[in-house]
Amino acid sequence: MARTETPLPMKVIAPDAGRAWWWFGQLAKVKAGAHETHGRYTLVEILAPPHYATPLHRHDREDEAFWVLEGETTVEVGGETVEGPPGTYLVAPRGVQHRLRAGAAGARLLFLFTPGGFERLIEATSVAAPEPTIPPPDVTPPDDVAAITWRYGTEILD
């Protein structure tokens, strides 16, 4: 049977490369977005400060996978809580509420969103990072963040 899907071209992204954003109190580096992946996925490297917690939320358009690279995390998916030491991989299926908490030393993770396009929500709710560091405390999401995320198919629940 012949393949009808267009293969993705090879792409190499250096460890320090990626579009960097100060996003919800963490550093988000978009390593690959819908444009680079023909809409298949968005890959984001996250650097979360100590004791950081995302708001409880759910995505209507994307499945979200978490791969813990460094640090300790606790992830709540659909009411179930899982401890996530380095090497842990888990998935929050679309439509299921979830949140992530970083441990005392913070955490570095990869987020994989399928299909691609989630980078547009990141860009709409963040500030371009002038340096690849965790944002200062005075950098916060826009006042209308819940309305913005809703337009991109994500609902903030708390």
pLDDT single digits (tens) 112-135: 999 999 999 999 999 999 999 999
Q: How far apart are CA 79 and CA 61, in angstroms?
A: 20
Q: Which CATH superfamily is domain 19-134+142-156 in?
A: Jelly Rolls (2.60.120.10)
Q: What is the CA radius of gyration of the chain?
A: 15
3-state secondary structure of 21: strand
100 falls in which pLDDT band (50, 70, 90)?
very high
Q: How far apart are CA 87 and CA 39, in angstroms?
A: 27
CB-based contacts of 84, cutoff 8 Å, min separation 6: 66, 68, 72, 73, 74, 75, 90
Longest CA–CA separation in the chain, Å: 56
Number of neighbouring beta carbons within 10 Å of residue 41: 21
Q: How far apart are CA 48 and CA 70, in angstroms?
A: 10
Q: Is the pTM of this model over 0.85?
A: yes
- Helix, strand, coil % (nearest 5) of the chain? 10, 45, 45
Put residue 37 in one of left, alpha, beta given phi > 0 → left and psi -120 to 50 → alpha. Answer: alpha
pLDDT at 4 over 60: yes
Average pLDDT of the chain is 94
Closest by CA to 54, choosing from 130, 128, 121, is 121
Across 2-6, 9-13, 132-136, the highest mean pLDDT is recorded for 132-136
The bridge status of strand 26-32 relative to strand 42-48 is antiparallel
